[in-house]
Amino acid sequence: MRAWCDAVEIAAMFGAPPPLDTPDALVTRLQGFQDELTGLFPDPWHPPEPHVDPWTLGDHLSRYHLLAVGYALELLGARPERKVHAVAELTPQALTACLDTLDWREGAWGAGDWIDAYGTGTYLNLRYFGDAGALDTLMGWLTRRADPRTGTWGRPTTREGLLQPVNGFYRLTRGTYAQFGLPLPYPERTVDTVLTHTRDRRFFRDDRGNACNVLDVVHPLWLCARQSGWREGDARDWAAAQLERVLRGWTNGQGFSFELERGPTPTRRPSLQGTEMWLSIAWLLADVLGASSALVYVPRGVHRPEPAWLLAGRDDTHPTAPETR
């Protein structure tokens, strides 16, 4: 399912629908993935396990497809046919219980993934069905729980250092603060934490680097820079070095692999996923350097730089626009 959405997003970066089918046929295909009861987008090729509860967003593919399919439909001038009921029916109390039970100690990345999906489902419900759900509860919980020492949620782990809280910060803020154009709680401390993570050679060196790990650093640095100029020079130095690496990874006529290093494994062959992600990363790196205007494209869909709420044509950035109260 994601491949169809990646194709739509790549084409939209350059102002056209993908040459796969007519736009109407693509819309019909993507809308057809939505479950009638939950409003989620479970993958028919990799369905959720029977024990997974869709009403608490337990399936990770269904969660990501809220982003992928939801935004792909928008890029095609369409929308989901149904409200995301699994999101809308979580009461403030039930939402708080879900947030409290996420693995913030060892799995902040997965916790951020869950919140990204919830925030995106709420955005879709609010924009198209006028239902903000428990968004105010979510933003209050996040703001109260942000660590003022690190600017992140979750804790570093013995096995992976800062990978979990940094990558979780990207997913969490992408679907909430960035999506709705809201200010971050502690941008300066976040920059400190993220730049410390960039020195971890388990994840960042010339022979190591996948799209997730680089994206999950550059987006927080880029987002924080919109609020604060803290350590701007350090962020620019890192961005310049990464951009040089990214450009070396391009394969003419094929794009990028998910991992920059060449090799025989599937993640090291050019793909739609790798191409969409690295094109978006390259734009963010260039924008940190003040050079994104030199590019002939802007990321669209999941990785678009503008708050989705602004792209929706609202005249303010607050999630409770007059027509949805």
Six token digits for residue 192:
């400190």
pLDDT of residue 207: 78
Measure the CA–CA gap between 296 and 13, rounded to whole angstroms: 9
Q: What is the dihedral of CA 50, 51, 57, 60, to 10 degrees?
A: -70
pLDDT band at 266 (very low <50, low <70, confident <90, very high): low
Average pLDDT over residues 125-146: 97
pLDDT tens for each residue of 218-229: 999 999 999 999
CA distances from 245 to 205, 211, 214, 239, 287 (A): 10, 12, 11, 10, 16
The mean predicted confidence, pLDDT, of the chain is: 93
pLDDT of residue 16: 86
Six token digits for residue 145:
């729980």
Average pLDDT over residues 64-85: 97
Q: What is the dihedral of CA 17, 38, 180, 140, to 10 degrees?
A: -160
Q: In the beta sheet, which residues pair with residue 257?
A: 270
pLDDT band at 59 (very low <50, low <70, confident <90, very high): very high
In the chain, the amino acid numbered 298 is V
SS3 content of the chain, % helix, strand, coil (to 5): 55, 5, 40
Q: Name the helix (H) or strand (E) containing 140.
A: helix 135-145
Q: In the beta sheet, which residues pair with residue 157?
A: 161
pLDDT of residue 312: 67
pLDDT band at 3 (very low <50, low <70, confident <90, very high): very high
Measure the CA–CA gap between 96 and 211, rounded to whole angstroms: 31
Q: What is the dihedral of CA 276, 84, 135, 186, to 10 degrees?
A: -20
Average pLDDT over residues 283-300: 97
Q: Name the helix (H) or strand (E) containing 165.
A: helix 163-174
Query: Which residue's structure tokens are 């006028």?
Result: 130
CA distances from 212 to 158, 163, 280, 322 (A): 20, 11, 11, 37
Q: Name the helix (H) or strand (E) containing 248.
A: helix 232-248
Residues 6+ positions from 32 with CB-CB distance below 8 Å: none
Q: In the beta sheet, which residues pair with residue 205?
A: 208
pLDDT of residue 77: 95
pLDDT tens for each residue of 26-52: 999 999 999 999 999 999 999 999 999
pLDDT of residue 205: 86
Q: In 3-state terms, what secondary structure has residue 161?
A: strand
Q: In 3-state terms, what secondary structure has residue 279?
A: helix
Average pLDDT over residues 3-28: 93
Sign of CA dihedral 253, 258, 259, 262: negative
Average pLDDT over residues 247-268: 82
Measure the CA–CA gap between 314 and 216, rounded to whole angstroms: 28
Phi, psi of 205 (to 5 degrees): -160, 175
